[in-house]
Structures are given as structure tokens and as C-alpha cells.
Amino acid sequence: VTGLDQFDIARTLVAHAQEQPGGDIGISLGHERSGTVRDYSHAYSALARIRELLDKLGQLNDGFEWRIHCYRDAGGMRVKRLQLGHPQIR
């Protein structure tokens, strides 16, 4: 992938994991942007943990913080959201 916002790369990694059998744990991905564009490649056959890939991506120069924010919405449903912040989550 070339010239993609680093948050889009992070969302692509999480989306790929959720597309795998047994991998969809209901994480919503959001649409925010970091303003930092990167070139990135990863062979999914390498069997890396998505958490480790996100950590490595976030640790690059001008990187970001990430977490899975879990909470209950107004209707009492459990929500899991990929939260991204550049340079930090606010």
C-alpha cells in the first residue's frame, strides 16, 4: 500500500483480522485521519498478531496511539471501538 493515512492502514489490519473465521469480535473502526501518510506492506501469511503490527506502526516516527475502547451505549449494548490518536489519544 502506498500513500495511505496511517489510521487507514491500522483499520485495514483490524478489518482483515475480523474477516477471518472466528475473528470478528465486533470492533467498529471509525473514520478519523492522522494526517500522516505512509507506504506499508505486510504479508498476512506471516501470522503476526494484529496488536503487534499496530504497535510497530504506531511506534514509527510521527506515529500514533491506539486502543480498543469498550463501553455500553445508551441502549445498554456493548460497543468495541478502535480508538486512534495522533500523536496521542485525547
The pLDDT, as a whole number, for residue 8 is 98
DSSP letter at 86?
A: S
Contact 47, 27 (CB under 8 A): no
* C-alpha cell, 18: 475480523
Q: For 40-52, write each residue's pLDDT tens digit.
A: 998 888 878 999 9
> By C-alpha distance, which of 82, 63, 65, 62 is closest to 17?
82
* Residue ranges of the chain with per-residue pLDDT less than 50: none
Burial class, 41, CB count within 10 angstroms (exposed 0-12 / middle 13-18 / buried 19+): exposed
Domain positions in the chain? 4-85
The pLDDT, as a whole number, for residue 43 is 85
